[in-house]
Amino acid sequence: MHRRAHIAIPALAAALFTGAVALAAPATPGALPQVEVYKTPYCGCCGAWVTHLQQAGFSVKVQEVEDLTPLRARLGIPEAHASCHSAKIGSYVLEGHVPADDVKRLLEEKPQALGLAVPAMPAGAPGMDVPPEHAQAYATLLLRRDAPAQVYVQHPAGK
């Protein structure tokens, strides 16, 4: 019995040291959860928003669907706040061109909410890139389950 222990312990230590045992490796501190994006195959700005998220450190899984209306209804996103794509991240939903920094803030603060939305497609929002002088002011809304949406972040024109 002792002979096996003398062989097994150095082997386990070597495996841990070299990273051969993947389960023993700690999770990356501050790792961001994956974003599941639902978009139609016909929208180019959605792809630009996905790139924006990836550049901010998010991993993204894209699923193309023909019609987002039933998905938004299932996720609880009001049509009044609809845009061209929807997403899920953890227990939250995202609708439209929500900036990655707003998503990170949501994940850090963990409010009791459905998620975030940038209704319509405002020029200058991530994925809706225009020269700064043409960028519109827009708001990222905090969607509540049992109350009206409220402004979460106000984004000024020209940025």
The CATH number assigned to the domain with range 30-155 reads: 3.40.30.10
Radius of gyration of the chain (CA): 21
Q: What is the pLDDT of residue 60?
A: 96
Whether pTM > 0.85 for this model: the answer is: no
The residue extents of the domains of the chain are 30-155
Rounded Cα distance between 81 and 98, Å, is 12
Rounded Cα distance between 96 and 38, Å, is 10
| Average pLDDT taken over every residue of the chain | 83
Q: What are the distances in angstroms from CA 100 to CA 73, 78, 154, 159?
A: 24, 21, 14, 15
Q: pLDDT tens-digit profile of 127-153?
A: 999 999 999 999 999 999 889 999 999
Q: What is the pLDDT of residue 30?
A: 60
**Mean pLDDT of the region 34-59:** 93
In 3-state terms, the chain is what percent helix, strand and coil (to 5)? 35, 25, 45
